[in-house]
Structure 1
Amino acid sequence: MRKQSGAQVFRITGARQSLADDVRGRQRRYVISMSIRTLSVIAAAVLWNVERHVALVALVLGILLPYISVVIANAGRENIPSLPSTFVPAPSRPILPPPTAHGESAEPVPEAGTGPAPDEPNTPSGHQN
């Protein structure tokens, strides 16, 4: 396998869930909500003559749950902000210093009048001319 320079790398842990999983999850939430609605309407009918306050609460729940369920089921796919970014930058190469010419040394050249005099024994080669 060849490495491509400049290729984008993605983490699979930050990928969104598949569309099929998303639809299945929304359908499951809708069925659970509608089951609760059905139970609350049945409870309202059974408790109407026994405990009218509880029956009214169950009836209001049975009336409001379809709207809430449809809104939740039709909610679009959103990114979860708690997941890390899916983009991993490619590692960069270290910057090398520019190459020097063959005749030049890597040492800095002293300015005129600041280096040793030509008749002094401190020449770069270590011997006098």
Structure 2
Amino acid sequence: MHRITTAPEPLADDVARRTRRYLAQMGLRLVCFLAGVLTWGVVPGWVSVIFLVGAVVLPYIAVILANAGRERRDEPTSLVTPRELGSAAEPPVDGGRGEWAP
């Protein structure tokens, strides 16, 4: 039984959110690649190299983040509270033979 506050997000919403995030990151990769190619020889070389390195690294990061979805929450969801045993049971008086004192 799930409480409404701890119910996970619907699967379709989760997939749509991860897809949008992946496509945004791939769009950023395309911008980095084009910036690296178009600035080659126009600006200092290290600027173009940074753009190209970003275009190479971004797909790896995008795939990792796209696959990281629907993790379980590690919140305790105990619906039953354990009873206290200290006051409910008295130790046996007869030395453990199975008879209880009144």
Normalised by the length of structure 2, the TM-score is 0.68
User: Which contiguous aligned blocks of 4+ residues in structure 1 show a shift greater than 6 angstroms?
Assistant: none
Partner of residue 6, structure 2: 14
CA distance in 1, matches of 2:34, 2:15: 29
State the secondary structure of the residue aligned to 1:12: coil
Matches within 5 A, 1:1-129: 10-51=2-43, 52-81=45-74, 85-89=76-80
Q: Provide the alpha-carbon RMSD of the alignment.
A: 2.1
Q: Which moved more, 1:69-78 or 1:48-57?
A: 69-78
Normalised by the length of structure 1, the TM-score is 0.55
> Percent of aligned pairs with the same residue?
41
CA distance in 2, matches of 1:11, 1:86: 9
Structure number with the higher helix fraction is: 2
CA distance in 1, matches of 2:65, 2:2: 30
Quote the offset at 1:80 in angstroms.
Answer: 3.8
Quote the offset at 1:15 in angstroms.
Answer: 0.8
CA distance in 2, matches of 1:76, 1:37: 21
Gaps of 5+ in 1: 1-8, 91-129
Quote the offset at 1:74 in angstroms.
Answer: 1.8
Larger Rg: 1
Does the CA contact (< 8 Å) of 2:18 and 2:69 recur in 1? no
CA distance in 1, matches of 2:35, 2:22: 20
Which structure has more RCO (C-alpha within 8 Å, separation ≥ 6)?
A: 1
Tell me which amino acid in the other structure corresponds to 2:40: W
Gaps of 5+ in 2: 82-102
